[in-house]
Each structure stands twice: as structure tokens, then as C-alpha cells.
């Protein structure tokens, strides 16, 4: 059985997330400049400052574990495909929310082990919250919780009440498009009431973990050549496989045409021809 993350690691990574959040808030309170990255997403000094704090902290804590960060170029796929474990970092998730000053941005650190996320810490600087989860932790008091001003509150999870006539949805504030709207219309037809809450960044998943929503629909399709060999369609009711397509044998245009023919809008599909990332 896989081992839980050592508690000294948990404590230090929580501190790193809080330190990165403090650097972000320093910039948040100023008239900061906004740059644009190659993918048209915004970048601020807060992203870079948080990146440096996290990089230094993780390298000091676990020098043997490599790091992939949103704000640095990743090693080649040939190199990182050999890694058994690595840290996956987004120093400031929700830069658009940061720029719009609505407070819905987060600091994210996850440990990937054997292609699975086994441990994660999400900080919400404005709310002064830190969410922690460890899938291999047998002690339920340490498995998943949110820390608020030093006090831990458990996140035990919550099953949907089958007798409820309402469904609560937490959805992206900036992404989704026509497919999300169509999905919500269909969902509303199945329940007496469909409550929608729009939230930015990974804060959506935190809302879900706290029991503040029943569903988070993430409907975008992301594909990197050489990483995702098949596109599979399943029956919604039975789970039976209906179609399978070998995407690595298709061109980017053919992939777009295939996926869009299944009702997914062009703006909801991202295809990257470079296995080292785009």
C-alpha cells in the first residue's frame, strides 16, 4: 500500500503555499502591470513571485523530486516521461480573477506519483484558507481538510441526496461556452431546481470538497499528440463504449472535425502538435 505524505512535508508545503500567497497579495494591493503569454493568458509579477517562492521551497524540501510549474518551461517529454514522481505547480491559478480583483485565485501544489495526483495543497490567499488532501492517508483527521487561521476543518465528502429535487452546480467563471450552457439546460430539465454558482480557478473544486456544490462540469477537450492515443465515446446511461478513434493517426484539423462532430464546439477543443507542450 502506498504511504501517506510525511506530516513534516505537509506542514512545510502548507507554509510554502501561504508564503507564496503572501507574495501574491503584496502585488494584488498595487497597480501591477499585466503581460500576455503566448497562449494569450495574462501574466503578472505575482505569478512570477509566487513561482520563485514555491520553486525554492520545494527544491529545499525535496531536492530529489523534479518540478513542473505553469511559469517555467517543462523538460522534454522524453525526460519527464521517465519520472516516477514530480511536483506539479500552478503558482497563481486564476490570473484573470487576480486581474479582475475578485479574490477567486489560488496557489496549487500537487504531488504526482505514477501518473496519479496523490497529494495536493490549494491556498486561497484572500480567504486565508488552505485545503489539504492526501489520498493515501489512513487517518481521516489528516486525509482531507481546510485550514482556516490555523484551525483544521475536516472535508469528509458528501454524497448527493437522491431525495433532493434540486442540484447545485459550480461552474467556471471564464470557460465553458455553448456546450456548458447546453449541459446546464439539460440538467435543469431533470431537476425541479438547478442552482448555478460561477467561480474562478481551482476554487471550484474547493467549493465541491466543502459540500457547497453537487457537480462541477468540466467539458473542454485538451489533446497533446503522443500523449492521448484514443478518443472514446461512452453511453451516458450504461457506460458502454460506443466509439474509439486513434487520434495520433489524425491531423490536428481532422481531430477538430471529429470532436466537433460529436457536439463539442471548436473553442472548447485544444490540440497541441508538440509532445513537449504548447
Q: Residue 27 pLDDT > 90, yes or no?
A: yes
Range(s) of the chain covered by CATH 3.30.540.10:
7-154
| Best CA proximity match to 180, nearest among 60, 250, 263 | 263
Least confident of 110-124, 152-166, 172-186, 243-257: 243-257
Q: Residue 154 pLDDT > 70, yes or no?
A: yes
CB proximity list for 143: less than 8 A, separation 6 or greater: 133, 134, 135, 137
Look at residue 184 in the predicted model and tell me its pLDDT. Answer: 87
Domain 7-154 matching CATH 3.30.540.10: the answer reads yes
Q: What would the CATH number be for the domain defined by 157-219?
A: 3.40.190.80
* Residue 183 and residue 217 in contact, taking contact as beta carbons nearer than 8 Å: yes
Q: Residue 254 pLDDT > 90, yes or no?
A: no
The string of pLDDT tens digits covering residues 194-229 is 999 989 899 999 999 998 999 998 776 665 555 555
Q: Residue 4 pLDDT > 90, yes or no?
A: yes
Range(s) of the chain covered by CATH 3.40.190.80:
157-219
Least confident of 64-68, 132-136, 156-160, 178-182: 156-160
Least confident of 49-58, 68-77, 133-142, 173-182: 173-182
Q: How many CB atoms lie within 10 A of CB 219?
A: 17
Q: Residue 268 pLDDT > 70, yes or no?
A: no
Amino acid at each position: 500500500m502506498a504511504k501517506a505524505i510525511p506530516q513534516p512535508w505537509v506542514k512545510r508545503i502548507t507554509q510554502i503555499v501561504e508564503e507564496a500567497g503572501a507574495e501574491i497579495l503584496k502585488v494584488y494591493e498595487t497597480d501591477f502591470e499585466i503581460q500576455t503569454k503566448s497562449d494569450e493568458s495574462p501574466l503578472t509579477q505575482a505569478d512570477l513571485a509566487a513561482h520563485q517562492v514555491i520553486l525554492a521551497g520545494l527544491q529545499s524540501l525535496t531536492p530529489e523530486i523534479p518540478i513542473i510549474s505553469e511559469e517555467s518551461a517543462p523538460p522534454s517529454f522524453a525526460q519527464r516521461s521517465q519520472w516516477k514522481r514530480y511536483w506539479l505547480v500552478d503558482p497563481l491559478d486564476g490570473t484573470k480573477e487576480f486581474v479582475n480583483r475578485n479574490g477567486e485565485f489560488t496557489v496549487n501544489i500537487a504531488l504526482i506519483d505514477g501518473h496519479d495526483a496523490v497529494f495536493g495543497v490549494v491556498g486561497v490567499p484572500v480567504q486565508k484558507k488552505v485545503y489539504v488532501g492526501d489520498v493515501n492517508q489512513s487517518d481521516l483527521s489528516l486525509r482531507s481538510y481546510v485550514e482556516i487561521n490555523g484551525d483544521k476543518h475536516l472535508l469528509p465528502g458528501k454524497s448527493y441526496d437522491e431525495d433532493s429535487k434540486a442540484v447545485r452546480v459550480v461552474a467556471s467563471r471564464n470557460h465553458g461556452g455553448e456546450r456548458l450552457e447546453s449541459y446546464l439546460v439539460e440538467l435543469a430539465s431533470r431537476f425541479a431546481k438547478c442552482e448555478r454558482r460561477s467561480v474562478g480557478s481551482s476554487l471550484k473544486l474547493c467549493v465541491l470538497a466543502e459540500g457547497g456544490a453537487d457537480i462541477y462540469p468540466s467539458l473542454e477537450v485538451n489533446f497533446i499528440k503522443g500523449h492521448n492515443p484514443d478518443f472514446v465515446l461512452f453511453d451516458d446511461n450504461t457506460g458502454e463504449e460506443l466509439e474509439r478513434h486513434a487520434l495520433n493517426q489524425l491531423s490536428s484539423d481532422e481531430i477538430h472535425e471529429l470532436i466537433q462532430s460529436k457536439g463539442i464546439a471548436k473553442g472548447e477543443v485544444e490540440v497541441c502538435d508538440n509532445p513537449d507542450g504548447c
